Amino acid sequence: MTVTKSPASASKLELLLTSYFNIVKRTVGDMVPKAIMLNLVVHSKENMQKELLNSLYKSQGLRDSMKESDYVVSRRGECKKMIEVLAQAEAVIGNI
């Protein structure tokens, strides 16, 4: 097999290599800022999340927001009484 090295094939090869290099350079140039921003965003998000959770758990606001209202407490008591009354009624009906 013989390889001919004509000036036309050499210039085609040079053009192809130059085009390929430019494509790779543009692709890498596009990917690097995106990768840097992604890493910065992920790192910032994790740090922000830690800080927010720490401040949330340390504050009194979490305990206050999880406290049941007086209405819910009174309704629970009413429901417990109703369950007891219904259980007694069921027992009375069962004895008949």
22-29 average pLDDT score: 94
- 79 three-state secondary structure: helix
Whole-angstrom distance, CA of residue 93 vs CA of residue 91? 5
On whether the pTM is more than 0.85, the answer is no
Reported as a single tens digit per residue, the pLDDT across 35-88 is 999 999 999 999 999 998 888 777 776 677 778 889 999 999 999 999 999 999
Determine the pLDDT at residue 3. Answer: 56
Report CA Rg, the chain. 37
Domain residue limits, the chain: 1-58, 68-96
